[in-house]
Amino acid sequence: TRNNFTFIQHDVTRELPLLGRVDYIFHLASPASVVDYQKYPEETALVNSQGTQMLLKYAKTYSAQFLFASTSEIYGDPLEHPQKETYWGNVNPNGVRACYDESKRFGEMMTMQYVRTHDLDARIIRIFNTYGPRMRKTDGRVVSNFINQALEERPLTIYGDGKQTRSFCYVSDLVDGIMKAMFSLKTKGEVFNLGNPEEYQVIELAKKIKTMTQSQSSIVFNDLPKDDPTRRQPN
């Protein structure tokens, strides 16, 4: 505890400690990097399903406002482009990414169910690719990988042919969006895509980072991971 701030380390799939008062719950407790959730697939599936239900129950106890951090991954390999909030997605239900995609979809369902059944003041955000300061160096995501590789003059590892696209949001913009989704009026029961609509091919990103860091690194092409979405852009 420091400056009115108390940090409690707790597994949200287990019964939560009772507190005097809870006003707002931001549920962001899940690995989000492909590398991380592949390492902990069952834990990832449970924190987004069982963990979400546990926190919704908790929010109901305190009549707290609730925000569930979902993901652009719930669109799978999208057939609609750019992705609107009303799109249902194209997801492999039992593939290697399903521990993440399907548990986030379950979490969305349960969040909306609590709005309908229990009149809970809850909303869903779908976070698209995000980058910025204090990202872990070994996060495994494309932006941090390329920057580290470029700075260390190692080859930039493109997965597949690099023609797949992503749209990258700066972290402080994402945080603004998260705050607005929670604290604006009439957000109860709403779903928000949060991301930057400018779309880049992965190979364009590699070249841009090479130029910006003035790196002599080469670019190598590795195998594309399974079920890697070909396009992603929030509407």
Tokens of 97: 């990414």
Shortest gap between Cβ of 105 and ligand UDP (angstroms)? Answer: 15
Report the residue number, 111 or 129, with the smaller CB distance to ligand UDP: 129
Minimum distance from residue 42 beta carbon to ligand UDP (Å): 19
Specify the length of the chain in residues: 235
Which residue number, 83 or 164, has a Cβ lying nearer to ligand UDP?
A: 164
Smallest distance, Å, CB 184 to ligand UDP? 27
User: How many C-beta atoms lie closer than 10 Å to residue 199's C-beta?
Assistant: 16
∠ Cα 78 30 91 (to 5°): 20
Q: How far apart are the first and last CA of the chain?
A: 40
SS3 (DSSP) at 140: coil
Active site residues: 100
Angstrom distances, CA of residue 137 to CA of 41, 133, 140, 215: 21, 10, 8, 18
Shortest spacing between CB 133 and ligand UDP, in angstroms: 17
Instruction: List residues near ligand UDP by CB under 6 A.
Output: 34, 129, 141-142, 145, 157-159, 164, 166, 202, 225, 228
> Among residues 62 and 87, whose Cβ is nearest to ligand UDP?
87
Q: Residues 6 or more apart from 189 whose CB is under 8 A from it?
A: 112, 115, 122, 123
Which residue carries 């949200």 as its tokens? Answer: 12
Specify the residue, 34 or 115, whose C-beta has the smaller distance to ligand UDP. 34
